[in-house]
Structure formats: structure tokens, C-alpha cells
Structure 1
């Protein structure tokens, strides 16, 4: 019955979308939150009572991200963070690559002698079907390099967003979903024994409905200056430990209006997940920033290109 109602509502959905086609609203950083960091062998939350909204966001845009960056699939060409390769690196000119970083954060990943590369690596894409089930497809990094890494070998991404969507693919206002990023300890240990330490300093979520998207960014350099207050604390978030990150998200930036009335929030159709791999010189003190361990990818290909 639920499926039948969804199908029958498509005509009304198209009418609603066309009526709002020229509108763009400001996103809210409160739509995405980080509320836990755990080690892989403990459920103790290391955030010391803090909950963090996204550090910044862009949108809501009246298109979807795969149209914005001009790529259908895959979403990036080489995927090591080079300028023009992927949405957050300025692919297709929709973004400049500087939306969430500063000029001094740029790197020379293509070894052309100029620090112009933003450093964003596409981790994967989670897609919802019409029955509210979702599946994550992991990206590859270094597609044009000597070695290609499957991101799914390094981490697991999990999203849950379940609602009783009764009309126009709409969820009740304030429906809350959850997200989790967990690194895989065995792969991390092997990679670190070869490559050494590495971090990501940003994590971004590009959230899409059927016709709109917004991007929500977490800046860990800012976040962990607040969390790490005592270096002697055994729970001090450090540079050498793989973690599980988790939080919540809502779709309040994507309201559904029916004949002028706000009747709820749109469902997510897909979410693309990005992380930024900083240059080693951007991390002044290893113990001052969260280890996501994912930037092993970037270091791999940087080492290969310079060897």
C-alpha cells in the first residue's frame, strides 16, 4: 500500500517541485551533528559532553550534486584531491574548492609546482530506495596511479533514516536519522606499518533529495581544540588511534510545501561523503587533531607519485 501511494503521488510531486524550481534557501548547520567518538574496543564517548553541529554548510541548491559536478558515475576521475577532480575540488566549476578551507590549506598533489589542490577525497555514496532501505557504494582512490585503493577496505559508512512517509515522499517534520563512520582496525594497522601516521581534517556530507542538495562540513581542527583540553587525560583524542564517529542528521533544510503549507521534510535520495586529506605541514601537533585514519589513502598516492 505504501509503495502504491508513493507511485500515485508522483504527479503531485512534480507539480510541487516545479512550483519551487527557482527557489534557493540557506542551509542550517544544525541539520548535521557529531555527537560521539569511540575507540574500536570501547563504547565510551570521548567528546567529553560536547555535541557539535556542522562547522559550515553550502546550499540548498536547486539541482543535485551529480549534475553540479558534471559527472554521473564515478564521481571523481583520480580521487586524490586534485583541483577540478570531484565536486568539492571544483569539478565543473560549480564550487571553487575553497568553500570550507583557506588559501594556506591548498596543496600540490599533482606535482606541478603550484599549491592549487583542495585535497578532498570522495569516500562513497549511500543511496536510498523507495522502501527506505539504503546501500553504500564505496569509491576508489588513485584510479590513475600505480595502486588503486578501495575505500571500502578502510572504513564502513552507515546511515539510518526511517520515517512513515505517507505522501509526496515526505517525512514528518523533525525526523532524525543517524550516521556512523567506522575505520577497520586490521587494515589500518597494516597501512600504518608501511605509511606512518595521517589524518583527515574535514569530513563533509553532500545530502540530496530528488531535486536539491546541500553540503555540510565538519572542521576537526576547530572541533578538537575544544575537546582536547588536557593532554594527560587518557581519553585525549590522539593521532594514533582509529575511531568510530557518529551523529545525527535531519532533512529540515528540504521542506515539502503543498498548496502553501509545510507538510513535512523530503526524504534523502543519496548522500555523498567526502574527507579532506591535509598536507603534513598543516597538522602542527599530532596529538591536537582526530585520527580518522582515512588519509592513508592520500599519503599512499602522494608517496607513489613522489617516488
Structure 2
């Protein structure tokens, strides 16, 4: 198939391009930076520089690409690990999940795209029920005030994509990415890795929030499976080891050669960083990916983070 990837130079994009090209697909991949076009071309994609918030540019680029499938992997996550920069990244990502999604959907519909696959995430599953949610679970309806914009952006993306009637619309709720090219890797500039090595990513409160993680190679292979075999709706994409923060974070620190994470009272973090980060560290729920395995014939190269942290950090 001819596949258009918006955000092909992001964390998952390079892995996704590589896997799709290896399977014989033609890939057009976008980037915000002209400096990244050579890297995309080397992976086998046809690179395009795109401002995804410009609807006319999006319409023009998608029309010229004439894809059968559009894959939306646009985020603005990356760069320095300081708090102010992270707030800007989150705000920019929210715009891409709302305006960028709408622009891509309009452009895809205009050219008769057959399938639209988009990146969501599972960090804000509804905070009721057991520690693990399946696809029947919904996005948290009452998030902390400082997380409302981000959660609303996720909800908009999922509803807009899965509600299209003119093509297959698929939202992938990914677990937290780790591995090469992600913020959670052994690279010296990996955002979360830097914080962990400096012992600035603590266990908040009891660290009882359950996180589901997924190696970036496995996230890409699930996306390929959704492109080739997925049906309209939501699929969860994570490994088989959902675990509370107090369990997996010390193991990640050890894998990165860092000291054990500090423990910080939830009340202090709430004062310094807001209620949203505290909620993620203390109340998050994990996800089950059984639907993706069953319906997409998806298998994990790294079944749990316990092996992935040792073998797959890059």
C-alpha cells in the first residue's frame, strides 16, 4: 500500500518507516524540519516537510501523496527536560491532537483514503475499576484541572478518528514508549533518562499508579498490524507487564546505571508541579493488549519491561 505517515521523524516514526518499507509498502513521511529529510530518505521513505497546523499545506501534501492509508503520529514531545519546556511541548501536542487531527482527516477524506490510524495513549484511562483496563474503558471524564486540556485533546482525537464513516478509523492507545529514540532510553539526551540519572524523576507518594509500557519496536509492529489488518475502533498497545511505578521505576534506574529514585510526598509534588503529575504517579491504570494480539495477530518481541530494560534500551 501507499502510506502517508504524519510525524515520521518522531520517536515511533523511524521504526515504523523501517518496518513498513521492509514489508514492501511505499511510504511518504513528514517532518517539521528540513534537516531530517535525508534521514527519512535513508530509511526508504519519500520525505516531505510539513506544518501540520496549516490546513492548506496539509491538504496539498496529502493530495500530492495520494495515499491509501494515513497514519497520524504527530506530537511535539522531545527536547530539554526542564519543566517550562515540557509545558510548551504538552500545549503544542494538544494542538496537534486537535487541529492536526482535523486537518489530516479532512485531507484524507478529500483523496479517498481507505484507512486512518492515529496515536492516542493510555495514561488517562478512567480512574475507576481494577488496575488494568481493556478497550471498553474510557478516557477519564474528570481529570485534574491542570490535565484537562491534554485529556480533552486525547478524547477529541479518539472520537474524531473512530467516528469517521468514510474509511476505517483506528485509534491506538499506546503504553509508555521506551527503547532507542524515545525519552526513556539509554541515550545521553533522552528526556526521561536524563531526569532518572540525575535522580529528578521520583516515586511520588506510594508510587501505586499502574503504568503499561511498550518497547518502541513493538509499538511500531502493532501499528503495522493495525495498518494491514485493523478494523475501526480502539486497540491497546502495551506489553504484558503492567506494574505500579514503585516496582518498575527502580528497575529502570538500575538499567540506566542510575541511583535508586528518590521518594517524594505527593503533597509536595502537588504544590510544585500540580495535581496531574501526582495523579499519573498514584492513580494511573494499566491496559490489556489482548484484543490487538487476537485480532491483529500481533506478537511482542519484548513481552515485558523486565527483559526489555535489560536487552532493548539501545
Q: TM-score range by the shorter chain?
A: under 0.3
TM score, norm. by length of structure 1? 0.26
State the structure with more CA Rg: 1
Higher strand share: 1
Higher helix share: 2
